[in-house]
Amino acid sequence: MKDERYDKYPEVRVKGFDNHAWRGWSVVQRAVAECLPKQHKTVLVIDCYPGVRLDELHQQLICGLNPALIINAETARHSEESLHDLLADNLTDDRVFGVLSCHQLPAFFCPDRLAALQREVEAVTAGLVVVYGPGAALVHPGDRLIYADLARWEIQQRFRSGEAGNWGANNQQEDILRRYKRAFFIEWRVFDRHKTSLLRRADFLLDTNQQNDPALVNGVALRHGLEQTVQQPFRVVPFFDPGVWGGQWMKDKFNLDASQPNYAWGFDCVPEENSLLLRFGDVRLEIPSQDLVLLYPRPLLGEKVHARFGAEFPIRFDFLDTVGGQNLSFQVHPLTEYIQQHFGMHYTQDESYYLLEAEPGAEVYLGIKTGIDPQEMLNDLASAQRGEKAFADEKFVNRFPARKHDHFLIPAGTVHCAGAGTVVLEISATPYIFTFKLWDWGRLGMDGLPRPVHLEHGAQVIDWQRDTQWVTRHLVNQVEPVAEGDGWREERTGLHEREFIETRRHWFCKPVTHHTQGGVNVLNLIEGHEALVESPNQAFEPFVVRYAETFIVPAAVGEYRISPYGSSVGQQLATIKAWVRG
C-alpha–C-alpha distance, residues 526 and 506, integer Å = 10
**Is the pLDDT confidence value at 445 over 90?**
no
How far is it, in rounded angstroms, from Cα 374 to Cα 368? 9
pLDDT band at 2 (very low <50, low <70, confident <90, very high): very low
User: Residues 94, 100, 106, 109: what is their CA dihedral angle, to the nearest 10 degrees?
Assistant: 10
What topology does CATH give the domain 305-474? Jelly Rolls (2.60.120)
Inter-residue contact 507 to 573 (CB < 8 Å): yes
pLDDT in tens, 92-114: 999 999 999 999 999 999 999 99
Residues of the chain above pLDDT 90, percent: 91
Residues of the chain with CATH 2.60.120.10: 305-474, 480-580
Write the pLDDT tens digit of every residue in 8-18.
999 999 999 99
Classify 480-580 by CATH class: mainly beta
Answer yes or no: are the C-beta atoms of 47 and 148 closer than 8 Å. yes
Give 461-483 pLDDT, tens digit per residue.
999 999 999 999 999 999 999 99
Question: Phi/psi of residue 233, each to 5°?
Answer: -65, 145
Looking at residue 432, what is its pLDDT? 66
Q: Which residue has the higher pLDDT, 158 or 432?
A: 158
Question: pTM of this prediction?
Answer: 0.96
Residue 582 has pLDDT above 90, yes or no: no
List of residues 6+ apart from 187 with CB closer than 8 A? 50, 166, 167
Per-residue pLDDT averaged across 132-159, rounded?
A: 97
User: Residue 448 burial by CB count (10 A; 0-12/13-18/19+): exposed, middle or buried?
Assistant: exposed
- Quickly count helices (H) and strands (E) in the chain: 17, 31
Residue 59 CA from chain centroid, whole number? 32
Q: Are 427 and 494 in contact (CB under 8 A)?
A: no
Is the per-residue pLDDT at 402 higher than 80?
yes
Please write the tens of the pLDDT for every residue from 190-223.
999 999 999 999 999 999 999 999 999 999 999 9
CA 287 to CA 299: how far, in whole Å? 19
Q: What does each C-alpha distance from 479 to 120, 408, 491, 578 come to in angstroms? A: 67, 11, 6, 15
* Of 442, 496, 426, 435, residue with least CA distance to 461: 435
Q: What are the distances in angstroms from CA 571 to CA 250, 487, 528, 530, 535? A: 24, 10, 7, 10, 22
358-380 pLDDT, tens digit per residue, is 999 999 999 999 999 999 999 99
Q: For residue 3, is pLDDT > 70?
A: no
CB 134 within 8 A of CB 183: no
- In total, the chain counts a number of residues equal to 582
**Which pLDDT score, from 0 to 100, does residue 430 have?**
82
pLDDT score, position 496? 85
CB-based contact 159:74 (threshold 8 Å): no
Whole-angstrom distance, CA of residue 172 vs CA of residue 431: 26
Report pLDDT digits (tens) over 321-355: 999 999 999 999 998 998 999 888 888 888 999 99
Pairing of strands 521-527, 488-494: unpaired
pLDDT band, very low/low/confident/very high, at 498 (cuts 50, 70, 90): confident
Give me the amino acid identity at 117: L
Q: Above 80 in pLDDT, residue 260?
A: yes
Architecture of domain 13-229: 3-Layer(aba) Sandwich (3.40)
Rounded-to-integer distance, Cα 87 and Cα 68, Å: 36
Per-residue pLDDT at 5: 87
What gap in Å lies between CA 168 and CA 155, rounded to an integer?
Answer: 15
Q: How far from each other are the two terminal CA atoms of the chain, in whole angstroms?
A: 41
Query: Which part of the chain is CATH 3.40.50.300?
Result: 13-229
Half-sphere exposure of 411 (CA within 13 A, CB side): 20
Average pLDDT, the chain: 95
Contact 572, 508 (CB under 8 A): yes
Up-side HSE of residue 199: CA atoms within 13 Å toward CB? Answer: 27
Q: Residue 309 is which amino acid?
A: F
DSSP tag of 97: -
Rg (CA), the chain: 25
Mean pLDDT of the 253-261 span: 95
